[in-house]
Chain A
């Protein structure tokens, strides 16, 4: 069974600074997909970024980028120029290429401060 581990329950960063959220996963699959979802206080689940394992290039979306280390099974999220609106719970998620199940980590609560 696949597992997703987020070892940082809570983090804090000052506005305009950079922060990195960690995620590791365990799988024997070679083809899979990785995601970061954001859950602000409104509770809505919002996709931040996704990465296909067959792509070596790290995905980026504006201020959000990932460091995908396939051999190490690591998928960290970097938020640059942090904004107050980035305050949220962030979930890392994994989906095998051959299955329909999406497995989530336990989340990292990020607080952006002035």
Chain B
């Protein structure tokens, strides 16, 4: 089944304790991205990657890191989490171009992160 898998789905942590949210897709998509969703703000892009070893900042990159060493994986790293990073996080992937399925993001199930 074509899908984007992210883990953990739920996490409660404390300020300053480094954590990683993993994201993996099995569709051979070049493009991957991380979003955070907060009430009243919609989804805001954190980082995105056009392909292996190519990453770039989105709208709200502060406090986050990413890497793209393999095409299928795009982990989100919070080096020193703070309470304002409490949010619902989504990983998504796609291929750009024309044709069926192009430009459509496939989302993971979401990761609810709470930083105390």
Q: Point out residues on A near B: beta carbons under 8 Å.
A: 4, 6, 9, 33, 35, 37, 43-45, 47, 50, 91, 95, 100-107
Q: Determine which of B50, B58, B107 lies in contact with A45 in the assembled complex, contact meaning CB atoms within 8 Å.
A: B107
- Residue among A35, A105, A106 having the largest count of chain B Cβ atoms under 10 Å: A106
Q: Determine which of A33, A47, A100, A104 lies in contact with B43 in the assembled complex, contact meaning CB atoms within 8 Å.
A: A104
Q: Is the CB of B104 within 8 A of A50?
A: yes
Chain B residues touching A, majority SS: strand
Q: Determine which of A47, A101, A107 lies in contact with B104 in the assembled complex, contact meaning CB atoms within 8 Å.
A: A47
Q: Determine which of B35, B41, B58, B109 lies in contact with A44 in the assembled complex, contact meaning CB atoms within 8 Å.
A: B109
Q: Determine which of A33, A43, A47, A105 lies in contact with B42 in the assembled complex, contact meaning CB atoms within 8 Å.
A: A105
Q: Is the CB of A102 within 8 A of B105?
A: yes
Q: Which of B68-116 contact A (CB under 8 A)?
A: 88, 90, 92, 96, 103-105, 107, 109-110
Q: Is the CB of A45 within 8 A of B90?
A: yes
Given contacts A44-B107, A44-B110, A50-B103, contact A100 B42 (CB under 8 A): no
Q: Is the CB of B103 within 8 A of A106?
A: no
Beyond A43-B110, A47-B104, A104-B42, 17 extra complex contacts between A and B, CB < 8 Å: A9-B40, A37-B105, A44-B110, A45-B90, A45-B110, A47-B105, A50-B104, A91-B42, A91-B43, A95-B103, A100-B31, A101-B48, A101-B58, A102-B105, A103-B45, A104-B35, A104-B44
- Smallest CB separation, A68 vs chain B (Å): 15
Q: Point out residues on B near A: beta carbons under 8 Å.
A: 31, 33, 35, 40-45, 48, 50, 56, 58, 88, 90, 92, 96, 103-105, 107, 109-110
List chain B residues, Cβ under 8 A from A6: 42
Please list the 7 inter-chain residue pairs (A to B) with the smallest Cβ-Cβ separation, ordered nearest first.
A45-B107, A106-B42, A104-B43, A104-B42, A43-B110, A33-B103, A107-B42
Q: Is the CB of A35 within 8 A of B104?
A: yes
List chain B residues, Cβ under 8 A from A91: 42-43
Given contacts A91-B43, A101-B45, A102-B33, contact A43 B105 (CB under 8 A): no
